[in-house]
Structure 1
């Protein structure tokens, strides 16, 4: 609709709308897309971007500026847009309080202010907007309790108050909203129980209560709402058993999530009847029994997550249900870690969904070898097999999982060589192989992993030198840990390329040579552990560049020379261990060295001074006698001889 330009001839009502919009514009502090540029006198306000008017009365009925990257606050004069039926400011950066004047908009039906930075309390005057169907202010910074005045909004279809800082309890009067279809109170600080009155909302389909501090059991009345398709109470303090017939009560269920609570009992077999189920997530509870094979009927399943329960009996056959999961061809996440599953990892896992991206079965009691057929899971991004009893060698076929970003084989009984095929996993960011029985040398092919951020090879029986291809991976930014092996040789100078590394731990090996000066280039280091090796020479002065260093441990080496003064002044250093070396000289009594609990320097017999708590002997204070030149010696000798001769001549008289 093209509206003609009106200025002096405009009605007072039109002028009121225009002035309210100008107030809105004047409070915009950031407008990178230039949206407010169209809000000018050259164009009728009904033609401004984001503004929709009633054609016959030329009154603003909708203000919609979703995702326009705007920042600013909402003026009180917004209450003058008396014909407004909808306001949508979703996904911007509006801040400040939502003005009470919004309660003057008696025709308002839809409010969407999600994903902003609005703060203060939810204005109680919103309760006057009795025509509201949608009230969604999720993902802001609102505080306080849910106002009881909102109980007058009896026509609400959607109530979204999630992801704020709301406190108090869930009001029972929400159960009177007979038209409510979507209720989101997630990610707040709500406490108390779930009101049984919510069970009166017979048409409720979407219920989000996750991320609060709710306690007690889920009221049985909730399970009578057959229209529920989205149910999430994850991360609360709820307990009790899931109803055996829950899959029959919620026949349209698509999301059923209750992770991080205290639920007990078995997984209901009836869930296999919820044929639309896509997400089944009850991780970190206390569920018992095993996973029903009937879940293989859920062909729409995308996530099946039972990490961190008490499932399984530690026996052969605990994972027999794997075969049925081959029917779940859309499965992306399969979480079975930290349970009591025993027996072997079935070869039928090779038939799992080729869409599978996350597979965890760590911290169980699984035995035998890792099936070679694992290479069929070509979409895997994360594979967690840690904390089991897997033995034998790692299949070379794992090197075919070229989408893999995280591989965790920690704490098993794996042996043999680290496969050179790992070098093909070029998207890998995390590789954990510690506490196994790997032997031989570290394959230089790991140097191909240019996205690697975290590498842990500790507590194996690796030997040989550290390949410079590996030690120089500039992508390493979290940790490089190779402690407790039998690695030899010197630490390559390429270590200086690890400029973003936070932790370097090569302790408990047989490394020798000098500590490289290039370590001073690793300016983000917080933990540096080289203890239990055979390093020699002095502590590099370049380490003074490590301003964020919190832990430095060079104990049990062959270091010599003085303790550098800069160690007392490193601002973040909290733990320093230089014990059992061959260091000498006076130790500072200042800075970190004034805290005996933070410093360990025993086993260095040539050290002295320091704070009394370190129990070192006092330093000797002998006067330093300057050495005399040969010319000075001759002159002094001649002078002494002359003085003696003169003295003797006096004696003759």
Structure 2
């Protein structure tokens, strides 16, 4: 080749190379422009962007530098779109399918709605599709199966419907399929068993129904299986029990039956959590479970297992929880509790639940060698006998000790006071003897103590007065003697019960009994008490059940008891009481049982109220009673009148007096009629209750609020404005709730709130100073309710302060939120169970929870409250008023929306939602909760998947330096925070179940919250 030819060839080659490079660069530029336009199309479909994330998606910077966008370094193609938890709302643009190099789509924790675009199936490079915690609806696109590189699909917590697409079985690289907490139906497709690469399968909390297909046994690599809460029935296929890599096996809350295979310990060698509670499993608990060294939780409650508990569970070194309660275990076993001996080898053991089975015999001494971490021992409802081993008091972390309804005997351990974290102690229904040790007063966190139904003797220790959180005290049916310590009567914390009945207690009732201002039931019957009934008993305004029968009380029934208008049961029988039967007893509207028999009462018997119902009252054994209703069959009361001689003047006096009274009554009737018929005057009035402290006029309130100045406006609502004011007399701060008189039905709301507030008193209810029904300066109607001012305002303003953005940590820490939750639960428990009639608040939400200077919560706003008294219609059927939707959107119970009747269960639902809101930071009306997804479902699924930390307020997960100790200066361990939050969320879910019969009651919720506080703090 000549030199010329060589030069020409080189030039031609370089020219072709230049053309190729130019073409390639042009192609890359076009591809990049396609990606930019696709991203802009994605942005155009976003309608909600409260954090202004998308504002920086503009031409001021290259699209590869936009927030959430990652590009490849060589070709500048979009490989990742990641915008999690940015509160973005709108629909997902199909243009996303033009980002053909996408490997990761991460849009979790936003508010996207509408369908998942089927066009995503064109992204053949896609590996992770993370769309959980949104509001996507419609069906799962079947053509996702075309994304052959897909490894992870997570669509949890959405509102997807329809069936699980069978096409997903064609994905050759799928490792994790998470589609829990949706509305899927149609059963579990057997073809899912063809995804041989699958490690995690989570399809819990849907409505799949049907059975567990045998094909799932083909998933030989599966490690995580969660199919709980799906209404599944039938048995678990044996092939599923052969999945040797399973670590979490969750099938709880279904209708599954059958038995666990005896070889489960061999087939599940890597199992950590066995969660099969609330089903219909039966048979024996396989002993081979002890072969699984990795097991942490064995949770088998509420099934029908029988036989014995394997005796070698101690081989499971990491075991933390063994719960076999409410089964049929132990019957006919010669040594049913030998398994406890083996558990001493489990150094991390925390909870033993064997309650309500058929275990018998003595408690093994080696139980004291269990891990020091034990916090709950549930042994009640069996046939256990003998003595409680002394070393059990070493469990200083114990919160609940329940040995009730067994046959234990011997003395109560003298050093029981070492269990200083104990919140619940149930030793009732046994044969314990000796005296109650004074060290029991060291249990200052105790809120329920039951020692009833034993043979305890001698005096009640005065040290019980140290238990200032005690709500329930039952020492009845023992042989206790001596006076009741004055310290018992200082326990103002007692709200549920103080029962000392059927003992040999002596002495008098002290004036201090008036400290029981919130107590519902006081039972001191069948003792040897003497003296008179103290006037201070009339201060116990919450009493519904008062039993003082079979003592040696004397004197008359004090007039102060007229304030106990909520009494339902009153028994003063078999004492030495004298005088007349007070007329005020006939005014007790809710009195259902009245026993005054075998005393020395005399005179005229009232005719109305309980006295008109022969079956409700007993007066036998009082020889000088007369009058009353015909049903009581008492002799008439005679009036001795001598019409002659000097007595004639007396007769005239009597006639004159009667005539005067009659005439005055006629005049009073006429006066009242005239007043009612004439127009209202400019004078203040309150509801008809003598218990209220103050009457207020419009002028007084106008002055206190500086003319209802906007500067003093502290709150607004649908029916009222709330102003801060200062009373002129003592400069006391007050809150004046001025009702919007123009609103329809406002008078009914005003009267309902006044009626409720005038009849209730509790430390966690807002203190009411009075009402005002007057005319304003313009001559219009004016209605207001005057409350104690709460300086820290409402819980709403702490949970969702408008002036803060999402990145600012809320001020309430985990301890304060738990205390507020307990305060609200205590208020509801009082309304539901300890008022003279149950009251349903009907509008529980954060704005109706007010906080004082100490952040103590006070429930307020009773405008929708309803007394749940029943009436009898003409047919004799018990009725109660029905209701439409009653409450606020997001908090109202589902049954109210379907015309259901008002009930205390409706309040429990609202409380559950409030509790979840407090600890997740999400309102029930959050944009996330659409198309069937709710805050309840959101939390329930997180529990099922052990992912509670993903939904709680992140600020609560890490303790600040100043939050690391409790009120007693004790260190709070960081690793206790997560289980604490999980326990709280569990209570919120249990309260907010859709069906009323599935909800726990507020008593149980409050009790469990106290347990949590005592456990973790």
User: Which TM-score applies when normalising by structure 1?
Assistant: 0.76
Structure 1 equivalent of residue 178 of structure 2? 160
Q: Residue 26 of structure 1: CA displacement? A: 2.6
Q: Give the whole-Å Cα distance in 2 for the aligned partners of 1:47 and 1:516.
A: 81
Which residue is 2:594 aligned to?
A: 578
Indicate if the aligned counterparts of 1:257 and 1:282 stay in contact, CA closer than 8 A. yes
Alignment partner of 1:543 out of 564, 581, 585 = 564
Q: Residue 406 of structure 2: which of 388, 400, 405 is its match?
A: 388
For residues 189 and 503 of structure 1, what CA distance do their matches in structure 2 show?
44
Find the counterpart in structure 1 of residue 71 from structure 2: 54
Bigger relative contact order, structure 1 or 2 (CA pairs below 8 A, ≥6 apart): 2
Contact 2:483/2:508 (<8 A) preserved: yes
Q: Are 1:437 and 2:455 matched, yes or no?
A: yes
1:355 paired residue number: 373
1:560 paired with 2:581, answer yes
Q: Which residue number corresponds to residue 466 of structure 1?
A: 484
Q: 1:215 to 1:245 in 2, by over 3 A?
A: same
Q: Which residue of 1 aligns with 2:418?
A: 400
Give 5+ residue unaligned stretches, structure 1: 1-9, 29-34, 637-653
Cα deviation digits, residues 11-31 of structure 1 (max 9, x gap): 686466357547646365xxx
1:74 CA drift (Å): 3.4
How far did 1:586 drift?
4.2
Q: Which runs of 5+ in 2 are unaligned?
A: 1-31, 642-646, 657-1017
1:608 aligns with 2:641: no
In the TM superposition, 1:638-649 aligns within 5 A as: none
Determine if contact 1:46/1:58 at 8 Å carries over to the other structure: no
1:333 to 351, 356, 376: 351
The reply to whether residue 89 of structure 1 matches residue 105 of structure 2 is: no
When residues 436 and 49 of structure 1 are mapped into structure 2, their CA distance, relative to the original with a 3 A threshold, is: farther
Distance 1:618 1:456 in 2: 42
2:43 and 2:54 in contact (8 A); partners too:
no
Deviation string for 1:444-485 (max 9, x for gaps)?
Answer: 211212333333223223233433433333444444433433
Q: Distance in 1 between matches of 2:107 and 2:90?
A: 15
Cα separation, 1, equivalents of 2:204 and 2:527: 50
Q: Secondary structure at the residue paired with 2:360?
A: coil
Distance 2:65 2:461 in 1: 64
Distance in 2 between residues matched to 1:49 and 1:396, nearest whole Å: 69
- Secondary structure at 1:435's aligned position in 2? coil
Structure 1 residue 331: deviation in Å? 0.9
User: What is the total number of aligned residue pairs between the two structures?
Assistant: 585
Contact 1:162 1:186 in 2 (8 A): yes
Instruction: Report the 3-state secondary structure (helix = DSSP H, G, I; strand = E; otherwise coil) of the residue aligned with 1:578.
Output: strand
| Contact 2:349 2:371 survives alignment (8 Å) | yes
Distance in 2, matches of 1:485 and 1:50, equals 75
Aligned mates of 1:367, 1:302 — CA distance in 2? 26
Please, which of 60, 75, 90 is the counterpart of residue 90 of structure 2?
75
Is residue 429 of structure 2 the alignment partner of residue 411 of structure 1?
Answer: yes
Could you say if the C-alpha distance between residues 234 and 615 of structure 1 is closer, same or farther in structure 2, counting changes exceeding 3 Å? farther
Give the 3-state SS of the residue equivalent to 1:378 in structure 2.
Answer: coil
The structural deviation recorded for 1:180 is 2.6
- With 98-107 and 287-296 compared, the bigger mean Cα shift is at 98-107
- 2:48 pairs, out of 15, 26, 35, with 26
SS state at 2:480 partner? strand
Q: Which piece of structure 1 moves more, 482-491 or 213-222?
A: 482-491
Cross-structure match for 2:475: 457
CA deviations 1:348-388 (Å, max 9, x no partner) are 11211112222222222222111111123233222221221
Cα 1:617–1:184 shift into 2, 3 Å: farther
2: CA distance, partners of 1:577 / 1:453 = 25
> How far apart in 2 are the matches of 1:253 and 1:263?
19
Q: Which residue, 17, 22, 44 being the options, matches 2:39?
A: 17
Matched residues in 2 for 1:164 and 1:464: separation?
A: 63
Offset at residue 194 of structure 1 (A)? 1.9
Alignment of 1:514 onto 2:533? yes
Partners of 2:133 and 2:450 lie apart in 1 by: 37
* CA displacement 1:155-210 (0-9 Å, x = unmatched): 54333344566666334343333333222333455533222222122221111233
Work out whether residues 495 and 518 of structure 1, in 8 Å CA contact, stay in contact via their aligned partners in 2.
yes
On the 8 A contact 2:35/2:77 being kept in 1, the answer is no
- After alignment, is 465-474 or 414-423 more displaced? 465-474
Please report how far the alpha carbon of residue 414 of structure 1 lies from its aligned counterpart in structure 2 after TM superposition. 0.5
Farther-moved stretch of structure 1 (256-265 vs 471-480) = 471-480
Partner residue, 1:31: none
What's the offset of the Cα at 1:343?
Answer: 2.3
Q: Equivalents in 1 of 2:618, 2:365: separation in Å?
A: 55
Residue of 236, 239, 262 corresponding to 2:257: 239
Task: Decide which structure has greater helix share.
Answer: 2
- TM-score, length basis structure 2: 0.51
Q: 2:329 aligns with which of 305, 311, 330?
A: 311
Equivalence map 1:247-266=2 (5 Å): 247-266=265-284
